[in-house]
Chains A and B, each alone.
Chain A
């Protein structure tokens, strides 16, 4: 019984950074901007979060720093692509490369240092209920933030006027501009929200998942988050499903490898990717729904003529 609970807990821990980064990128892409710099923003959040936590001794200050660093780093992308109308794909890729390099440089002195860990939630009484106690009331705080964030983004996008406006910009920025909507301002805010989320996801890595600083510790999670958004056809609950499928198969195959199942380990390592793609492709079969949810102006630079 305890083993099952522990496996479920590790799945949640593995899925949380993917979910947070993907939800942030979903908002960015819904506004019509493609930011391929998620990996770079995530690793910057990780190093910023670790550094602030290590220097102040407070994991909470570390988490806040991760969010701020992510948002500021995405601002660089926003200025380039939105104000200077550079190519979004190229700018996003360079943001990732810059983030990986810069974080390595900043983090040289953090390597091998003991980090601080964000404590798990402990509610006396509730957390000690068998099975559900740990799962529902005893996880790390970022887990709760990730679930709340998903619900909030869903509500924002589909129930509020501002969310409708954001989606309309993603559908056609020229039409939105013609209606007098401030396209660039909305996109700036969306990109920075995405950056803050990626930063938070990075903070989760260096303050919860493995509370230490290792170069390249994001290990491609930013790319997985990007893929999740597309395969989830830009719908928040599907992103959640995708992140958890990935997390579950990831943890499952680790255990399978530990048990020494006679299957090549390379195949097992590729399973999480395969499983996530298959499941998300299956739930996105409805072409019409996919069309409706695809931001039509995704990746196109917008220059209003004056």
Chain B
């Protein structure tokens, strides 16, 4: 291992960044960024979506080339021209969107990032030993495609540690973990810090940052807007620094008379065989969402939420028509358009390519999803599209959801993730659907936009619709839901009323620890 570690934290800078700038076309993603990371500290990088965090990190790891600016490593100027150079310097990275190969084993994945020629079996043994010493047990011979997201992240971390880096960059590492897994990760990070390693920690979860980070650098619109000690700040003051203005708290009016309200969405004994070898089978899922309520479905990614959404939205039809009922009618064998005509609306997880066609304009995307339900308004006689009314409806949604864009009717791909998500959610809300099903409503969306989307969903429910939200973000579910159910390994727990739900209880269910499923398994449709 390189550089010596002084016990008294002399705060020598391991990495120093001066005036780093990256321009994409007309957008300055990073504008003269200064950043210092000391030896043996956990440094937080905070900022909204599109603030330039990922761009900055990619430049530090050599996957993007800065337009100008300097980087100093251990006091010496360096040019990081490729990830290989970054690795040689001692920079390791754990990616937000995992950079693992699904068809290969854990050991093969690790071997690929190590440049030594040692045989796979040696690497597997090393990985196993290291993973146990950090309390992140790992089976090197398992196939990545078979592993849960939490386990995949372990591979990423172990792979990074085997390169013995001095600086470890973690991009949103806890967004896919259960609270218990996150605790384990924090222990690991604290141990690494005590070994003198530096960590650059990117997260939008402010409570975490307050808990483990020593210093924070805050970015907004590509510029550094402040440095602080997160321990001395509150979550609200950190959010203010990130957003530049006060973030409105989501208000959830108490739901009344839910028990007697009509059930608008009913799932009865929904089962599904895995469609692909890496997919999760659904096992006898039962759930009722009544008019006026928001039900949240928590769970670690890859536990069947995607399969569940496909079945409920009608992307995959069910054999048993009664397994999905919308407004009291069997819908299991009805197509997605048919279900929309019954009053349901759906927002899938993937924004680009699923929720919206990337190369089509917003107005065209609006027409694609609503040509049937709004046939009268959007399509005239002889099947001709009424471009004018589609355009004005798109503008109405853009205004209602405060979608920020560069052109009057831009292509979907030209919008930032958060703004596109606001448009997609707004497109469905605009119809005032009586059943709304959303998968990951605010994944990768900044705090301001997320609050806006959440508030809109609650208001839809309170106006008499049934809202079902699938999310991995527990904070979000606690903010939104009247009751939370947990999906684990294709099974859905009984919904826990929000008054009884705690992070701990939900976390245990997410880990599959508690057999909460048995009680509702007997329910008869």
Contacts and interface: CB of A to CB of B under 8 A. Distances in A.
Interface of A: 161, 164-165, 167-168, 171-172, 174-181, 287-288, 291-294, 296, 304-306
Residue of B104, B120, B278 with highest tally of chain A CB at under 10 A: B104
A97 to B, nearest CB: 28
B63 A178 contact: yes
Nearest to A160: B117
A175 B104 CA distance: 12
Given A180-B62, A180-B87, A288-B277, A175 B117 contact: no
6 contacts: A161-B117, A172-B99, A175-B101, A179-B99, A180-B62, A292-B145
A116 B117 CA distance: 46
Nearest to B88: A180
A288 B274 CA distance: 12
Given A164-B112, A179-B83, A291 B276 contact: yes
Contacts of B109: 168
A180 B81 CA distance: 10
A180 to B, nearest CB: 4
Given A175-B99, A180-B84, A292-B143, A161 B111 contact: yes
A171 B64 contact: no
Given A181-B112, A288-B277, A291-B277, 18 more contacts: A168-B101, A168-B109, A168-B112, A171-B103, A175-B100, A175-B101, A177-B83, A178-B95, A178-B99, A179-B83, A179-B112, A180-B86, A180-B87, A180-B113, A291-B145, A292-B143, A294-B103, A304-B63
Contacts of B48: none
Contacts of B84: 180
Contacts of A181: 112
Interface in B82-110: 82-84, 86-87, 93, 95, 98-104, 108-109
Nearest to A291: B277
A181 B99 CA distance: 12
A177 B103 contact: no
Interface residues of B, number: 30
B216 to A, nearest CB: 26
Contacts of A172: 99-102
Given A178-B63, A306-B64, A165 B83 contact: no
B65 interface: yes
Contacts of A175: 98-101
A174 B102 CA distance: 13
Contacts of B87: 180
Contact of A296 (B62, B98, B102, B108): B102
B416 to A, nearest CB: 16
Contacts of B64: 305-306
A175 B63 CA distance: 11
Nearest to B116: A161
Contact of A291 (B108, B113, B278): B278
Nearest to B84: A180
A168 B86 CA distance: 20
A104 B108 CA distance: 47
Contacts of B98: 175
A176 B103 CA distance: 13
B82 to A, nearest CB: 6
Contacts of B143: 292
Contact of B112 (A165, A288, A292): A165
Contacts of A179: 83, 99, 112-113
Contacts of B278: 291
A287 B277 contact: yes
B274 to A, nearest CB: 10
A258 to B, nearest CB: 46
B104 A168 contact: yes
* A161, A176, A181, A296, most chain B CB atoms within 10 A: A161
Nearest to B85: A180
B320 to A, nearest CB: 24
B149 to A, nearest CB: 15
A287 B274 CA distance: 12
Contacts of B63: 177-178, 304-305
A178 B112 CA distance: 11
A172 B87 CA distance: 20
A181 B82 CA distance: 9
B65 A164 contact: no
Given A175-B100, A292-B143, A293-B103, A180 B111 contact: no
A272 B372 CA distance: 49
B95 A296 contact: no
A164 B112 CA distance: 8
A164 B63 CA distance: 22
Given A178-B99, A181-B112, A167 B277 contact: no
Nearest to B87: A180
> Which among A164, A175, A179, A291 has the highest number of chain B CB atoms within 10 Å?
A179
A161 B107 CA distance: 12
A287 B276 CA distance: 8
Nearest to B86: A180
A294 B277 CA distance: 12
Contacts of B100: 172, 175
A161 B119 CA distance: 8
Contact of A180 (B83, B104, B117, B277): B83
A165 B104 CA distance: 11
A305 B84 CA distance: 16
A184 to B, nearest CB: 12
Nearest to A288: B277
A181 B111 CA distance: 12
A171 B117 contact: no
B103 A306 contact: no
A287 B86 CA distance: 39
B19 to A, nearest CB: 19
A305 B104 CA distance: 25
B276 A171 contact: no
Given A178-B63, A180-B82, A164 B277 contact: no
Given A161-B117, A292-B143, A171 B104 contact: yes
B112 A291 contact: no
Q: Which of A164, A178, A294 has the most CB of B within 10 A?
A: A178
A222 B437 CA distance: 49
A304 B103 CA distance: 22
Contacts of B113: 179-180
A296 B103 contact: yes
A292 B103 contact: yes
Interface string B261-289: 00000000000000011100000000000
B389 to A, nearest CB: 36
A284 to B, nearest CB: 13
A168 to B, nearest CB: 5
A286 to B, nearest CB: 9
